[in-house]
Amino acid sequence: MDKKKMLEEMLKNYLVNIAILKNIDIDIEELNLSDAPDHKKLDRLNQVKQQKQLEVQKIDNLLSFLNDRDRKIIEMKYFKRMKYEDMSVELDLSSGYIGCLKYKIIKKLVDDTQI
C-alpha cells in the first residue's frame, strides 16, 4: 500500500481507534476485577492497546502541523465523513477546490513526514 493510501486509511480509522481504546480499557478493567484474570488475554489487550495508541498519536501529531483550515478539511472529510458538497457549504468554498485542497494536504503530510 502506498503512503498516501496508508495515511488516508489511518485518518478514516482514527475515531474507530479511539473507540477501540476505550473498549479495551473497559475489557482490561473487567479482567482485572475478575477472580482469576486471564493473563494471556490481558497481554494481548495491552499489545493491541499500545498499537492503537501509536496510530492515534501519529494522527494527532500530523494534525498539529496543519493550519486551522486544513485541519478542518481533514476532520470534516475523514472524521465526520462529509461529502465535498456539504463541506463546501460550511467552508464557503467550491467542492472542487476542497477536493484539490484535500489532495494537497494529504500529499504534504506524506511528503513532510515519515508514515
Residue (of 2, 3, 7) closest to 77 by Cα position? 7
Largest CA distance in the chain: 59
Q: What is the rounded distance in angstroms from the CA atom of residue 3 to the CA atom of residue 37?
A: 40
**What's the pLDDT at 115?**
67
Query: SS3 letters for 62-114?
Result: HHHCCCHHHHHHHHHHHHCCCCHHHHHHHHCCCHHHHHHHHHHHHHHHHHHCC
Residue position matching grid coordinates 486471564: 38
Question: What string of pLDDT tens digits covers the 115 residues of the chain?
Answer: 799 999 999 999 999 999 999 999 999 999 999 988 899 999 999 999 999 999 999 999 999 999 999 999 999 999 999 999 999 999 999 999 999 999 999 999 998 876 6
Domain spans, the chain: 3-112
Q: What is the rounded distance in angstroms from the CA atom of residue 70 to the CA atom of residue 97?
A: 12
